[in-house]
Every structure is written in C-alpha cells, then in structure tokens.
Amino acid sequence: MSSSNRLSPSSATPHNRQAASLSVEEMYFAYPNGHEVFHSFSLQAQPGEFISLLGPSGCGKTTLLNLLSGFQTPLSGTILINGAPVRPEMPELGYVFQSPQLFPWLSALDNVRFGLRMQAQLGVKAQKDKAMHYLSLVGLASSADKLPYQLSGGMQQRVSLARALALEPALLLMDEPFAALDAITRNNLNEETLRLWSELGQTVLFITHDIDEAIFLADRVVVLGVAPQGIHEEIGIDLPRPRANLHTRKLASFAEYRAALMGTISDVMTTP
Ligand SMILES: Nc1ncnc2c1ncn2[C@@H]1O[C@H](COP(=O)(O)OP(=O)(O)O)[C@@H](O)[C@H]1O
Ligand SMILES: [Mg+2]
C-alpha cells in the first residue's frame, strides 16, 4: 500500500463526472412479508459530501442502499439523484458490496473492465487503459493479471473498489465494504478511500457498524435507529483534512466524537 497522496500518472484521464446530489423524502418501505424498515425516512446529501451511515445489525442499512440504488422500490416517498428519480441503470451510481463479488475466472484487470464493456462507445484498448488506470489508483497495477484467488481479501476489495470507480460514479454507495477485513487492512483502505475521494470528488454514502471508521471518513455521521425508526441522530465531523490514521485517530476531538457516538449507539440499542 502506497502512502503517497498522489495518483499514479496515466494516459487514461478520468471523466470526473460531477458529484451528485441525493434527496430522499418521506420514504416508506416494508418487505412483502410486512416487515417495516422505513416509516418516513428523509435524507439529503450535498454534491461531494462524504456521509457515513452508522447503525446496529438489522437496522436497515443494506435495505437503504438497495433503495438508494434503485434495486428496491419504496412503497411511497421519493428518491432523487440530481433531481431525477433513481433507476438502477443510472450512470451516476456506483456500488461497492461487503464481499468483493469478483468473477473468479476473470483477472483483476478483466474484473475492473467488466462494467466498462457495457459502455458501448469505448473500444477494447480504451477499456483496458481505463481499467488499468483505476487498478493503479488502488495500488494493484502489478497484480492486473492475477485471478481473485491469488489476491488477499484486502486486495480483492480494492479490485472491487476500482471496478466501481472505473464507472466514474457521481454517487458512490458502499455497504460495509471493509467489514470482513482485519483492522490494519481496514485502516489502510479507509485512508485509501479518502485519498481517492479527494481526487475524484464523488458524493459518498458509506455504510458501517464501526464507530471509528464512520468518524475517520465522514463529513457527517448519520446514526440509524432500530427499524423502522430511521435516523436517530446526525453529527457533523469537523476534523481537519487530509486525514491520516497516525494523526487523525489520535486527536482529542476524535476521541470526543467516539465517546459521543458510543453514547448514541447505546441509546439506539435501548430505545424501544
Ligand atoms: N428479503 C427480506 N424479507 C423480509 N425481511 C428482510 C429481508 N431482507 C432483510 N430483511 C429484514 O429487514 C431488516 C433490515 O435488514 P438489513 O437492511 O439487511 O439490515 P442491516 O444491513 O442494517 O444489517 C432486518 O430485520 C432483516 O431481517
Ligand atoms: Mg447489511
């Protein structure tokens, strides 16, 4: 993992789609079996904002991302991305799952290239250049030809991140992407995520159940209550950027945010 804050040079210049706004208004959602997950849920994200969504297991985090990406449809209320109702095929959207979900028979490069094949205007050479550019950004240029089983869990998740970034999303939705990784790898990938975000400038919704990760990354931490309560509390994170593990996590204000959020999560768990 490189500690550099600069991107690798590449001939494949990123498109830099403008960051998207997100507006969720009065959303109601229940599963077909009647299980209610959101009653009257509203959330706004400004273009370029980094929001961490923090909440206990089962509170509806994955359901929320499935709704925001258009894979599930609210029973009422609206979800707008740049003012338009969300659809799963919107080019603005990028999605990183908890498990990397790579095709085991494709190399790292071809996994990143996979989504680009749908972009009909790109020839094979341009697809490969772009895929290589994003693999380089996540520090995996030298592993481009490796198959997923030859990569560590952290490297696989970086391929998955490169695959999402290669589509140059204006809104990046991440569902506990580093939860299965050891703490050191996770901290490194947190730093990497911020470096990429500061260069590419998307709007990011990052779901996690890890308080430190939520604080380290975000401009704003949104704490979800037990379903169908929705948002329990929001807290703005006013830590200086750029953030670095060795510096930021040691700040007194970081410890204060952690203490406050531990209290909030404890309230969430005890609120009937
Ligand atoms: N397909 C489904 N049908 C019915 N209930 C579901 C379904 N998927 C998830 N749930 C329930 O909805 C709630 C929220 O689930 P989920 O969004 O996966 O939570 P989280 O990601 O926060 O752990 C949980 O109580 C879960 O059991
Ligand atoms: Mg989940």
Q: Indicate the angle between helix axes 124-137 and 108-116, nearest 10 degrees.
A: 120
Looking at the fold, whether 37 and 83 belong to one and the same domain comes out as yes
For ligand 1, atom 27: residue with the closest CA: 58
CATH number for the domain including 206? 3.40.50.300
Tokens, residue 243: 């953030």
Tokens, residue 230: 């929705």
Ligand 2 centroid distance, CA of 205 (Å): 14
Looking at the fold, whether 191 and 205 belong to one and the same domain comes out as yes
Residues with CB under 6 A from ligand 1: 31, 33, 35, 37, 55, 57-63, 227
DSSP string, 155-190: HHHHHHHHHHHHT--SEEEEESTTTTS-HHHHHHHH
Pocket test for ligand 1, best of 63, 69, 99, 224 (most atoms within 8 A of CB): 63
Ligand 2 centroid distance, CA of 203 (Å): 20
Looking at the fold, whether 246 and 142 belong to one and the same domain comes out as no
Of all ligands present, the nearest one to the C-alpha of 37 is 1
Please indicate, yes or no, if residue 10 is contained in any of the structural domains.
Answer: no
Looking at the fold, whether 66 and 185 belong to one and the same domain comes out as yes
For ligand 1, atom 9: residue with the closest CA: 63
The C-alpha atoms of residue 194 and residue 192 are separated, in whole angstroms, by 5
Q: What is the pLDDT along the chain (272 residues), one digit of tens a residue?
A: 333 333 333 334 445 568 999 999 999 999 999 999 999 999 999 999 999 999 988 999 999 999 999 999 999 999 999 999 999 989 899 999 888 999 999 999 999 999 888 776 888 999 999 999 999 988 999 999 999 999 999 999 999 999 999 998 999 999 999 998 889 989 999 999 999 999 889 999 999 999 999 999 999 999 999 888 889 999 999 999 999 999 999 999 999 999 999 999 998 888 76
Looking at the fold, whether 35 and 132 belong to one and the same domain comes out as no
Structural domain ending residue among the three candidates 135, 167, 199: 167
Q: Which residues pair with 27 in a beta bridge?
A: 41
Task: Please state the domain count of the chain.
Answer: 2
The C-alpha atoms of residue 154 and residue 150 are separated, in whole angstroms, by 12
Looking at the fold, whether 258 and 190 belong to one and the same domain comes out as yes
Structural domain that includes position 112 = 102-167
CA 241 to chain centre: 18
The C-alpha atoms of residue 56 and residue 223 are separated, in whole angstroms, by 9
Structural domain ending residue among the three candidates 150, 167, 184: 167
Looking at the fold, whether 112 and 214 belong to one and the same domain comes out as no
CA 173 to chain centre: 4
Looking at the fold, whether 46 and 80 belong to one and the same domain comes out as yes
